[in-house]
Amino acid sequence: MPVVRFQFTIIRSQNPLFNGVHMSVSTRSITLGLLALGLCATLTAADHTKDSLTTVQENLKAQKAVLIDVRELDEWKEGHLSQAALLPLSKIEAGMTAEELEKLAPKDKIVYLHCAAGGRCVQAAELLQKFGRELRPLSPGYEDLVEAGFPKAKK
């Protein structure tokens, strides 16, 4: 389980209790009570799915899931999985709507995310969490998935 590290430094504050406060926190899920603002936020980190690649393939075949490739267009053009739809991380970072995601991945489907090496799909999942979807980033990258028998699209 990855550890998410947050560091807060408050140099000057309207509230004298917080002047010069320095706090470092390590945890998977942090609930921050921002009392001065009357806000509360929960921050969580996405993690790679525990689903086996066999389970992923079965869910895709049974149409219980969709596969989204979050690599960039130039990488996609070099080769991609036939079952995958392209949604570059840069597009997700730039902002997208729930309707745009719905076109690629209906709400009733599991959303598997993959990239070249497993890192960007976790970033994508963290950004897409706001849409309340069942997101499952894959640890194996594109080449690993091809080697595992996922069909490669014909050029």
Q: How confident is the model at residue 155 (pLDDT cuts 50, 70, 90)?
A: confident
Residue 117: is its pLDDT beyond 60? yes
Residue ranges, CATH 3.40.250.10, the chain: 53-147
Q: Percentage of residues in the chain with pLDDT exceeding 90?
A: 68
Topology of domain 53-147, CATH = Oxidized Rhodanese; domain 1 (3.40.250)
Residue 51: is its pLDDT beyond 60? yes
Q: How confident is the model at residue 35 (pLDDT cuts 50, 70, 90)?
A: very low
Overall average pLDDT of the 53-71 stretch: 98
| Bridging pattern class, strands 84-86 and 65-69 | parallel
Do residues 113 and 135 touch, judged by C-beta distance below 8 A? Answer: yes
Q: Identify the CA nearest to 137 among candidates 86, 70, 84, 87.
A: 70
pTM to 2 decimal places = 0.71
Overall average pLDDT of the 56-64 stretch: 97
Going by the DSSP 8-state scheme, the letter that residue 130 receives in this structure is: G
